[in-house]
C-alpha cells in the first residue's frame, strides 16, 4: 500500500513538473501584457501557432519577421491586430481571423510572400493602409460588408490576386489600393463607392471593370497601363483626370458619360487600339495630349462645348482620315493634329480664330482644309510638311493671304 502511495505521489510530481515546464515554455513563447490580454511579442519556434485564449490584441510587430510560423490560429474575442503585427513572416501561409476583430492596422500582414488567401470577418471596421502589401501569393480575398474604406496600397503588389468584388459598404478605394496586381483581371465595384483614389489599379492586369454609378471623378492614373478592352463610364462621371487611362494599349472602346465636362491631360494617351471617340456636347475642356498616340483612331466626333483643342490633343492619331471641328471651337493649339499621317480632310467651322504652331505638321496626306473667314491668326509652321495641301477659304480672307505668302495651293469657296 505504501509503495502505491509513493508511486502516485511520484506521478503527481511529474505531472506538476511537466505542467510547470509547459507553462514556462509558453511564457517564453508569448510576451503578454495588460492581464494577459495583449500579446506584445512571440518568441516561439512553432510552425503551427495557436494564440492563447483571452488575448484581445496582437501588438505592433508581435510576429514581425518570425521565420517559423506557417499557420496562425487567432483566439475568439480578439479585437485588434496591430501595426506590422505579422510583417515580413516569410513562411506564413494561412491565418484564421475570427469574428470580433474590428481593426487590422497598417502593414499588419505586409510582405508575407506565401500567404495565399484571406477571409476578413464581418466585424471588421478598419483595414489599414498596406495591410496586405506585397503578399505575392495572395490569390483571393473575401471582403466583409462592414468596411467602408480600402485604404491606400492595402493590396498593392499582390501579384497573384485574380478577381475582387467590392461590397456595398465601401465608399472609398484609396490611392494605389490594387496597383501592380499583375494577375488581377476582373473588378466589380459596387454603387456605394463614391471615390477611387489616384493610381488605384495602376499597372494591374484588369481586363474588365464595372464602375460605381456614384463616381463623379475618374482620378489621375487610376487605370494607367491596364489591359482594359472596353470602358463604359457611368452618367455620374463629370471629370476624367490626367493619365486616367494612359497606356491602356488594348482599349478599343470608351463610352463617355453624357455629363462629362472635363478630360485631363494625357487621359487616353497611347491607347493604341482605340478606334472611335464620340465626345458628348457636355465636354468643355480636353487637356493636352489627351488622345495622343491613338494609332487606330479612325472616327472622331468632337463636342460642341469645347473652345480650344489643346496642344497635341490628337497628335499621332495615324489612321484618322477626316476631322470636322465644330463652331464653338476658337483655337486649334500647337501640334493639335500633328503627325496624323493619313489625315486627308479637315473642316473648320465659323468661329475658329487661331491655328497654332505645327497644328497640322507632318500630316503628309492632308489634301484639303476648309478655313472660315473668322480665322485671323495662322502660325507660319502650322502646315509644315503638308506638301499636298490645298487651303479652301473665302476669297479675300486672311486664309487666302496666308496661302499666298506660304506658297500653299488655294481654292476659293463658292
The predicted-structure confidence for 186-212, as pLDDT tens digits, reads as follows 999 999 999 999 999 999 999 999 999
State how far the Cα of 218 lies from the Cα of 267, in Å rounded to an integer.
10
**What's the rounded mean pLDDT across residues 377-382?**
98
In a domain, 41, yes or no: yes
Number of domains making up the chain: 1
In a domain, 29, yes or no: yes
Please report which confidence band the pLDDT of residue 375 belongs to, taking 50, 70 and 90 as the band edges: very high
State how far the Cα of 77 lies from the Cα of 201, in Å rounded to an integer.
35
pLDDT at 166 over 60: yes
- Residues 9, 10, 13, CA angle at the centre, nearest 5°? 85
Mean pLDDT for the chain overall:
93
In a domain, 118, yes or no: yes
In a domain, 123, yes or no: yes
In a domain, 88, yes or no: yes
The whole domain housing 88 covers 25-132
pLDDT for residue 3: 55
**What's the rounded mean pLDDT across residues 46-71?**
96
In a domain, 81, yes or no: yes
In a domain, 66, yes or no: yes
Which CATH number does the domain housing residue 93 bear? 3.80.10.10
Q: What is the pTM of this model?
A: 0.89
pLDDT for residue 414: 76
- Residue 310's contacts (CB-CB under 8 Å, 6 or more residues apart) are 286, 287, 288, 289, 290, 333, 336
Q: For residue 360, give Cα distances in angstroms to 305, 347, 386, 401.
A: 22, 13, 8, 18
pLDDT for residue 19: 35
- Predicted confidence (pLDDT) per residue in 226-253, tens digit: 999 999 999 999 999 999 999 999 999 9
In a domain, 317, yes or no: no
Amino acid at each position: 500500500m505504501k509503495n502505491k502511495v509513493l508511486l502516485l505521489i511520484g506521478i503527481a510530481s511529474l505531472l506538476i513538473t511537466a505542467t510547470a515546464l509547459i507553462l514556462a515554455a509558453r511564457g517564453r513563447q508569448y510576451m503578454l501584457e495588460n492581464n494577459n490580454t495583449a500579446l506584445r511579442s512571440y518568441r516561439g519556434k512553432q510552425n503551427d501557432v495557436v494564440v492563447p485564449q483571452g488575448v484581445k490584441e496582437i501588438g505592433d510587430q508581435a510576429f514581425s519577421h518570425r521565420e517559423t510560423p506557417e499557420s496562425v490560429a487567432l483566439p475568439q474575442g480578439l479585437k485588434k491586430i496591430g501595426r506590422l503585427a505579422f510583417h515580413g513572416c516569410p513562411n506564413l501561409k494561412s491565418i484564421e481571423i475570427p469574428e470580433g476583430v474590428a481593426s487590422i492596422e497598417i502593414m499588419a500582414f505586409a510582405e508575407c510572400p506565401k500567404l495565399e488567401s484571406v477571409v476578413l470577418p464581418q466585424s471588421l471596421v478598419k483595414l489599414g493602409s498596406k495591410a496586405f502589401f506585397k503578399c505575392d501569393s495572395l490569390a483571393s480575398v473575401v471582403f466583409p460588408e462592414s468596411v467602408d474604406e480600402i485604404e491606400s496600397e492595402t493590396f498593392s503588389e499582390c501579384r497573384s490576386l485574380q478577381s475582387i468584388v467590392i461590397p456595398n459598404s465601401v465608399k472609398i478605394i484609396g490611392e494605389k489600393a490594387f496597383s501592380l496586381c499583375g494577375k488581377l483581371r476582373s473588378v466589380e465595384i459596387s454603387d456605394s463607392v463614391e471615390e477611387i483614389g489616384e493610381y488605384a489599379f495602376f499597372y494591374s492586369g484588369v481586363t474588365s471593370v464595372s464602375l460605381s454609378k456614384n463616381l463623379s471623378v475618374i482620378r489621375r492614373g487610376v487605370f494607367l497601363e491596364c489591359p482594359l478592352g472596353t470602358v463604359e463610364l457611368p452618367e455620374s462621371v463629370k471629370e476624367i483626370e490626367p493619365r486616367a487611362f494612359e497606356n491602356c494599349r488594348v482599349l478599343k472602346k470608351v463610352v463617355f458619360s453624357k455629363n462629362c465636362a472635363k478630360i485631363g491631360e494625357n487621359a487616353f494617351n497611347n491607347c493604341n487600339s482605340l478606334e472611335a471617340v464620340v465626345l458628348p456636347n457636355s465636354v468643355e475642356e480636353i487637356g493636352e495630349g489627351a488622345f495622343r498616340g491613338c494609332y487606330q483612331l479612325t472616327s472622331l466626333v468632337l463636342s460642341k462645348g469645347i473652345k480650344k483643342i489643346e496642344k497635341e490633343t490628337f497628335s499621332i492619331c495615324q489612321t484618322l482620315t477626316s476631322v470636322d471641328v465644330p463652331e464653338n471651337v476658337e483655337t486649334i493649339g500647337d501640334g493639335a493634329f500633328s503627325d496624323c499621317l493619313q489625315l486627308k480632310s479637315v473642316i473648320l467651322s465659323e468661329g475658329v480664330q487661331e491655328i497654332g504652331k505645327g497644328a497640322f505638321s507632318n500630316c503628309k496626306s492632308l489634301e484639303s482644309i476648309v478655313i472660315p473667314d473668322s480665322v485671323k491668326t495662322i502660325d507660319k509652321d502650322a502646315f509644315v510638311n503638308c506638301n499636298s495641301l490645298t487651303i479652301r477659304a473665302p476669297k479675300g480672307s486672311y486664309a487666302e493671304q496666308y496661302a499666298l505668302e506660304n506658297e500653299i495651293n488655294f481654292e476659293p469657296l463658292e
